Amino acid sequence: MSSENFQQSRTPPIATTGLLGWIRLNLFSSWFNSILTILVIYLLYQILVPFLNWSIFAADFTHNYLGQQIIDRTFCTRVMDPEIGGACWAIIFVRFYQFIYGFYPVEEVWRVNIVYSLLVIAVAPLLIEKFPLRKYFLYFTLIFPIIAYFLLAGGFGLAHVSTKDWGGLLVTLVLGFTGIALAFPLGIVLALGRRSNLPVISMVCTLFIEFIRGVPLITLLFFGMVMLPLFLPEGITLDGLVRCLIAVTLFQGAYMAEVIRGGLQAIPQGQYEAAQSVGLSYWQMNRKIILPQAIRITIPSIVNTSIGLFKDTTLVLIVGQLDLLGIGRAVLAAQTWMGLSIEVYVFVAVVFIIFTFSMSRYSLYLEKKLKTGINMGAD
């Protein structure tokens, strides 16, 4: 074997692993990519630095640059000296109670806190499959709305608190969670109804869905405010928040129905036939065979419309309900805090993002779990 056959020494291959490798592979793989990367870094720098500066480094939290505690807008650094002041978060701290509870009486607010805590206990077993004693906790989840209702509104010895005093995050969560929770079964019934073989049922469901979907939520809210009372027997008045809830639930129900119908259509005919041939009834077939599969494949869309609804609840401020955004606007309307709208809107946006982003991450987790856990490749 001659020496010429020995391998020539080469430079090592370009790193493709580790941080450096990742940067090279993803950010600087070509000259065009490199220019884009640098451009984006420059833009981020231009945006992020001033924002961080405004929101954190130059911001007031509870005290201004003179060390005084901020009790109204005149104490804010940026009001006193716009040159040096950043965000004045004191408005959030001072008005925090309103943002979270609205005008709920302070001596009764423990009830809201209990509801918030119970909400976590009610939702957790729903979301986490391996929750210990899940079965029993799910019973609690079922009765939670009733407990929450009496705790929030009063009854059984608890003082009555009018929904006019509810506000802020409390109203947003009540509308969002109740709307989603009630719309889900409504959507299932409507979707099954629309696909029913009985023409009357199918027509009624289709008309309902198309009507509700064809109308903006805001119109439904006005409808609930103005027209719903006309349909009620005399002497019965509906609470403003309940009217909003009805509008929101119907709206979300119609959308949920279409999402679930999409899932139902994806289930092969053979599944229906197999279920019928072993003798399952219509409801057993849907409950045990068809819906579990249909809902599984529509989870991303279900979460998508739920996120949409959660954000749309802010529209209730137009019919006079003070949800999180409504409280924000009410706070800004006060003479003492005028002009701090950026702080308020950023805060409201962040609260919404926390909720919607969690929902979106959870749906991703679910999708991944269902895809890897069970291979649905039988058909």
Partner 1 sequence: MSDSSIISLQNVNKWFGDFHVLQDVNLEVKKKERIVVCGPSGSGKSTMIRCINRLEEHQEGKIVVDGIELTGNLKNIDSVRKEVGMVFQQFNLFPHLSVKENITLAPIWVKKMPKAEAEELAMKQLEIVKIPEQANKFPGQLSGGQQQRVAIARSLAMNPNIMLFDEPTSALDPEMIKEVLDVMVDLAEGGMTMIVVTHEMGFAKTVANRMVFMDEGRIVEEAPPDKFFNNPESDRTKLFLSQILNH
Q: Which residues contribute to the site for partner 1 (CB under 8 A)?
A: 268, 270-271, 273-281, 284, 288-289, 292-293, 296, 374-379
Q: Which is nearer to partner 1, 151 or 291 (CB)?
A: 291
Q: How far is the CB of 29 from partner 1 (least distance, A)?
A: 38
Q: How far is the CB of 343 from partner 1 (least distance, A)?
A: 49
Contacts of 316 (CB under 8 A, 6+ apart): 171, 175, 221, 244, 248, 323, 326
Q: Which is nearer to partner 1, 31 or 283 (CB)?
A: 283
Q: How far is the CB of 368 from partner 1 (least distance, A)?
A: 16
Handedness of CA 17, 20, 22, 27 (dihedral sign): negative
Q: How far is the CB of 132 from partner 1 (least distance, A)?
A: 22
Q: How far is the CB of 273 from partner 1 (least distance, A)?
A: 5
Q: Which is nearer to partner 1, 4 or 379 (CB)?
A: 379
Q: How far is the CB of 293 from partner 1 (least distance, A)?
A: 5
- Alpha-carbon span 317 to 2, nearest angstrom: 87
Q: How far is the CB of 371 from partner 1 (least distance, A)?
A: 11
SS3 letters across the chain: CCHHHCCCCCCCCCCCCHHHHHHHHHHCCCHHHHHHHHHHHHHHHHHHHHHHHHHHHCCECCECCCCCECCCHHHCHHHHCCCCCCCECHHHHHCHHHHHHECCCHHHHHHHHHHHHHHHHHHHHHHCCCCCCHHHHHHHHHHHHHHHHHHHHCECCECCCCHHHECEHHHHHHHHHHHHHHHHHHHHHHHHHHCCCCHHHHHHHHHHHHHHHCCCHHHHHHHHHHHHHHHCCCCCCCCHHHHHHHHHHHHHHHHHHHHHHHHHHCCCHHHHHHHHHCCCCHHHHHHHHHHHHHHHHHHHHHHHHHHHHHHHHHHHHHHCCCEHHHHHHHHHHCHHHCCCHHHHHHHHHHHHHHHHHHHHHHHHHHHHHHHHHCCCCCC
Q: How far is the CB of 281 from partner 1 (least distance, A)?
A: 7
Q: How far is the CB of 284 from partner 1 (least distance, A)?
A: 5
